[in-house]
Amino acid sequence: MEFSVLMPVYIKEDHRFLDEALSSITDGQILLPNEIIIVEDGPLNTDLYRTLDKYSAKYPAIIKRIKLSQNLGMGKAMNAGLMEASYEFIARMDSDDVSMPDRFQKQICFLIENPEIDVIGSLIREFLVKPGDINKKRPLPEQHNDIVKYLKYRNPINHMTVIYRRELAIAAGGYWNNRVYEDYNLWYEMARHGAKFYNLQKPLVDARIGNNMVGRRRGADYLKNEIVFFKKLSTDKFISKPALYYNITLRVILRLIPKRLLEWVYFNLLRSTHY
């Protein structure tokens, strides 16, 4: 089964992390992608260009670079890459995470054996500096019906682990342009379009959280966009009014509490230890 990898990059990325990410889906991957689409979301810096040039030279047949003239944000950058992809399935990869060597092999084999599945994710193993250093994972439901129920309250797919059907994502409207919940909204719209979901119950990606991951999920602007999203779900009758009030109340608390307290909530209440 042929598939494309889609990875956006912007100027604030660390070139060392980008190198690790690209190495993990090329040199270190058992099943090599047929295509890697790198969306340069606005002008980059010299170190990032040097890293991209290195992999472009090493894998010229599979790496395709799309250069955007200005930074448009993840949603628009992802949509630009989505439209340029050549294959039915799109695998996501973040520019600061590390895919485990058997990631694509396990996901593609599962899709071949289960052709009714349109979106497949996995668990993640979070780390601060080096994969495995804190051994925290984010538990998620496995089966489709449980994933759709979970969708009413929290994002049910780890975006950096996902492989999904390109045409179904496009039919669902692609990523939205709000700079919050770009992927969460996509899963919701794909579910409305009949997509079937599955989460493999093992970590296939080491996800970096030592880059202010929690800090980026705070503040009034972030909260306003979350409220827009959950009001949309309520208007569509996907969630009840009590569920809307619950979601908004919870997020008002989480987005406005001190950062250190929010970090404690994330790492002690919303995560589990991976063995």
Q: Domain check: are 173 and 236 in the same one? A: no
Helix (H) or strand (E) holding 46: helix 46-58
Helix, strand, or coil (residue 232): helix
Of 265 and 105, the one with more pLDDT: 105
Q: Does 19 share its domain with 129?
A: yes
What is the mean predicted confidence (pLDDT) over 254-258? 81
Q: Where are the alpha helices (DSSP H) in 59-159?
A: 74-84, 103-113, 144-150
Residues 269 and 172 in one domain: no
Separation between Cα atoms, residue 122 and residue 159, nearest integer Å: 9
Based on the fold, state whether residues 104 and 233 are members of the same structural domain: no
Tokens standing for residue 244: 């809307």
pLDDT at 272: 54
| pLDDT at residue number 181 | 92
Mean pLDDT to the nearest integer, 238-256? 93
Both 47 and 138 in a single domain?
yes
**How far apart are the C-alpha atoms of 16 and 51, rounded to whole Å?**
8
Percent of the chain predicted with pLDDT > 70: 92
Residues 151 and 239 both lie in one domain: no
Domain count of the fold of the chain: 2
Residue 275: per-residue pLDDT = 38
Of 3-17, 132-146, 195-209, 252-266, give the lowest mean pLDDT range: 252-266
272 and 175 fall within a common domain: no
Which of the listed residues 187, 210, 233 is the one where a domain comes to its end?
Answer: 210
Largest CA distance in the chain: 55
Confidence of residue 266 (pLDDT cuts 50, 70, 90): low
Tell me the two tokens of residue 158. Answer: 């780890």
Same domain, 201 and 218: no
Q: Are residues 174 and 217 in the same domain?
A: no
Whether the pLDDT of residue 242 is over 80: the answer is yes
Cross-strand partners of 98: 206
CATH number of the domain enclosing 93: 3.90.550.10
Q: Do 151 and 271 have their domain in common?
A: no
Instruction: Render pLDDT for 133-160 as a digit per residue (tens, 0 to 9).
Output: 787 778 899 999 999 999 999 999 999 9
**H or E element, residue 156:** none
Do 87 and 135 belong together in one domain?
yes
pLDDT at residue 274, rounded to an integer: 45
b (16+ CB within 10 A) / e for 57-77: eebeebbbebebeebbbbbbb
What is the percent of the chain where pLDDT is above 90?
Answer: 78
The predicted-structure confidence for 172-216, as pLDDT tens digits, reads as follows 999 998 878 999 999 999 999 999 999 999 999 999 986 555 556
Beta pairing partners, 65: 38
**Residue with token string 């908004």:** 248
Domain of 242 in residue numbering reads as: 212-275
Q: What is the chain's mean pLDDT, rounded?
A: 92
Residues 175 and 251 in one domain: no
The SS3 of residue 98 is strand
What value does the mean pLDDT take over residues 20-36? 98
Residue ending a domain, among 210, 229, 263, is 210
Evaluate if pTM is beyond 0.95: no
Question: Pick the residue with more confidence: 77 or 178?
Answer: 77
Q: Which of 163, 193, 210 is the last residue of a domain?
A: 210
Instruction: Name residue 21's amino acid.
Output: A
